[in-house]
């Protein structure tokens, strides 16, 4: 069976949620209190799904605006909903999951805490959902809200039948919840409800690869993908035992030739894996898998990371088509470990300090009259986040950095790029501001637009420069510098 022996608390928490939320209107965190009722679900649906915030702010900032003025029960419902969202995934560390959930619970006028009995389960995720788990967080949480709301409309007999039948549950989700048939959250829920039937594999493409790789081991392969995986498990159990996982080292390479980097953190080694002791402690993965994916020499990639750790800001420069932006974004996601800890901006001739740091923007004021609000730019937003989470790495990617008027865009930040431990007062808000040490900056520069030699010397000495250039190998780029 696909049930993981080392995740007992996770399965117990899933069972508690099923009893409290699906078969009753109760609560995970405060038993006996009405939280998962249609009254509060409808309120949350109106705020989060119907009133979706399409802005560029981080998920938490948008969510806080959406929940503003809600009843305490709605805040708690959202916190418990995020608990379920995080429960099965091992793409996010348990401490990070807890921090995210407790932040939401803390916004409530009557905050509650995650019970101790449910805390351990957050560190026992079983399924690697990849970067899509963070990138599509809004859609996945919307799915959960829609799922429970539609579930609540079932009569008691249908509920009792579906909650005990794995294939009826799968049909219910696939047929009744729009756009959910191949979703990450759908696969996570199915495993949490029925770990003896459905795999820990959340990504459909991975399921398809597994089915294709091991189809020859099954005498009469089923047409249905999940049933096919169940057949494959029965056969492979004779060879690997009942508790094997398709992401185990001895099996992963058999169905995925590229075998991506491990979703669970690799153990620390004294040297040679490119990580600092702090990153080892935090579980930052090694660079070997990323090097293969990016077609960048691992020695160059490790050198870039070492200098980022030391200098905290680098620039990739070179001609068009050499992968600067792609490498910058992938490396940023790898180092941060969560898309919510990465900010991406692109400079251009009309980009200004007011766009990047802070500035006044047109807005409606009291009485519906036009006025101006002081709004934070991407740099200030991510710096504030980094200050609140000093144990995590945040990365700001500045694409086409040389296309902007850098003196105009950066202003007093020239000072902070060199003196990270100092503070300055920002010119609009007069707030004290600094660049946290856990905020790293990766810039890209297209030398076809503007030569590196024409960039301000003061800026150049604040960044470590890496040059990307084409090689004789059609799929590989040479990186040099530092």
How far apart CA 356 and CA 339 sit, in angstroms, is 19
What pLDDT shows up at residue 464? 86
Least reliable range by pLDDT among 143-147, 155-159, 269-273, 419-423: 269-273
Query: What confidence tens digit (pLDDT) does each residue in 234-255 have?
Result: 999 999 888 899 988 888 888 9
What pLDDT shows up at residue 480? 60
What pLDDT shows up at residue 450? 59
Structure tokens, 205: 């493409």
Least reliable range by pLDDT among 32-46, 89-103, 149-163, 346-360: 89-103
Closest CA to 264 of 250, 287, 278, 247: 247
What pLDDT shows up at residue 269? 46
HEC readout, the chain: CCCCHHHHHHHHHHHHHHHHHHCCCCCCCCCCCCCCCHHHHHHHHHHHHHCCCCCCCCHHHHHHHHHCCCCHHHHHHHHHHHHHHHHCECCCCHHHHHHHHHHHHHCCCCCCCCCHHHHHHHHCCCECCCCHHHHCHHHHHHHHHHHHHHHHCCCHHHHHHHCCCHHHHHHHHHHHCCCCCCCHHHHHHHHHHCCCCCCCCCCHHHHHHHHHHHHHHCCCCCCCHHHHHHHHHHHHHHHHCCCCCCCCHHHHHHHCCCCCCCCCCCCCCCCCCCCCHHHHHHCCCCCHHHHHHHCCCHHHHHHHHHHHHHHCEEEEEECCCCCHHHHHHHHHHHHHCCHHHEEEEECCCCCCHHHHCEEEEEEECHHHCEEEEEEECHHHHHHHHHHHCCCCCEEEEEECHHHCCHHHHHCCHHHHHHCCCCCEECCCCCCEECCCCCEEEEEEEECCCCCHHHCCHHHHCCCEEEEEEECCCCCCEEEEEC
pTM, two decimal places: 0.65
What pLDDT shows up at residue 468? 80
For 108, other C-beta atoms within 10 Å of its C-beta total 18
Query: What confidence tens digit (pLDDT) does each residue in 315-338 have?
Result: 998 888 888 898 899 899 888 877
Q: What mean pLDDT value characterizes the chain? A: 84
Least reliable range by pLDDT among 8-17, 43-52, 284-293, 469-478: 469-478
Residues 6+ apart with CB under 8 A from 162: 154, 168, 169, 172
Query: What confidence tens digit (pLDDT) does each residue in 11-69 have?
Result: 999 999 999 999 999 999 999 999 999 999 999 999 999 998 888 778 888 999 999 99
Q: 142 falls in which pLDDT band (50, 70, 90)?
A: very high
How far apart CA 357 and CA 353 sit, in angstroms, is 6
What backbone phi and psi angles, to 5 degrees, belong to 48? -95, -40
- The total number of residues written for the chain in this structure: 482
What pLDDT shows up at residue 270? 37
Q: Is the dihedral of CA 123, 129, 130, 135 positive or negative?
A: negative
Query: What confidence tens digit (pLDDT) does each residue in 27-36 have?
Result: 999 999 999 9
Residues 6+ apart with CB under 8 A from 205: none
- Stretch 154-178: mean pLDDT: 89
Domains of the chain: 5-193 (no CATH), 204-255 (no CATH), 277-481 (3.40.50.300)
- Stretch 219-235: mean pLDDT: 91
How far apart CA 83 and CA 141 sit, in angstroms, is 11
């Amino acid at each position: 069976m696909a049930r993981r022996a080392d995740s007992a608390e996770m399965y117990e928490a899933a069972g508690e949620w099923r009893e409290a939320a699906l078969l009753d209107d109760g609560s995970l965190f405060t038993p006996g209190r009405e939280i998962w009722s249609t009254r509060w679900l409808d309120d949350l649906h109106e705020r989060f799904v119907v009133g979706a915030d399409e802005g560029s702010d981080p998920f938490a900032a948008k969510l806080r605006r959406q929940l503003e003025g809600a009843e305490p029960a709605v805040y708690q419902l959202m916190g418990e909903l995020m608990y379920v969202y995080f429960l099965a995934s091992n793409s996010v560390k348990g401490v990070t999951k807890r921090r995210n959930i407790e932040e939401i619970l803390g916004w409530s006028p009557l905050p509650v805490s995650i019970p101790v009995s449910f805390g351990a389960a957050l560190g026992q995720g079983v399924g690697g959902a990849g970067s899509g788990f963070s990138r599509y967080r809004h859609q996945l949480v919307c799915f959960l809200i829609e799922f429970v709301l539609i579930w609540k409309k079932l009569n008691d007999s249908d509920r009792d039948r579906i909650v005990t039948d794995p294939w009826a549950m799968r049909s219910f989700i696939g047929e009744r919840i729009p756009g959910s048939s191949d979703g990450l959250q759908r696969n996570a829920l199915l495993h949490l409800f029925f770990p003896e039937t459905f795999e820990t594999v959340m990504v459909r493409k991975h399921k398809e690869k597994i089915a294709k790789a091991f189809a020859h081991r099954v005498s009469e392969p089923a047409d249905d993908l999940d049933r096919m995986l169940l057949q494959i498990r029965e056969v492979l159990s004779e060879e690997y035992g009942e508790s094997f996982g398709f992401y185990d080292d001895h099996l992963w390479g058999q169905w995925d030739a590229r075998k991506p980097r491990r979703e669970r953190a690799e153990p620390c080694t004294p040297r040679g894996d490119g990580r600092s002791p702090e990153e080892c402690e935090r579980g930052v993965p090694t660079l070997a898998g990323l090097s293969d994916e990016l077609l960048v020499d691992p020695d160059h990639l490790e050198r870039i990371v070492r200098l980022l750790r030391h200098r905290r800001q680098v620039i990739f420069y070179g001609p068009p088509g050499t992968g600067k932006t792609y490498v910058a974004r992938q490396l940023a996601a790898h180092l941060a470990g969560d898309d919510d800890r990465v900010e991406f901006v692109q400079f251009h001739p009309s980009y200004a300090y007011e766009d990047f740091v802070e500035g006044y923007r047109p807005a409606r004021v009291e009485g519906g009259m036009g006025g101006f609000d002081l709004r934070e730019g991407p740099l200030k937003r991510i710096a504030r986040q980094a200050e609140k989470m000093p144990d995590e790495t945040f990365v700001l990617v500045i694409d086409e950095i040389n296309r902007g008027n850098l003196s105009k865009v950066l202003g007093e930040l020239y000072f902070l790029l060199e003196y990270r431990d100092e503070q300055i007062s920002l010119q609009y808000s007069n707030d004290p501001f600094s660049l946290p040490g856990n905020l790293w900056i990766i810039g890209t520069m297209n030398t076809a637009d503007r030569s590196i030699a024409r960039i301000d010397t003061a800026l150049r000495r604040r960044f470590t420069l890496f040059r990307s250039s084409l090689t004789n190998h059609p799929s590989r780029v040479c990186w040099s510098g530092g």
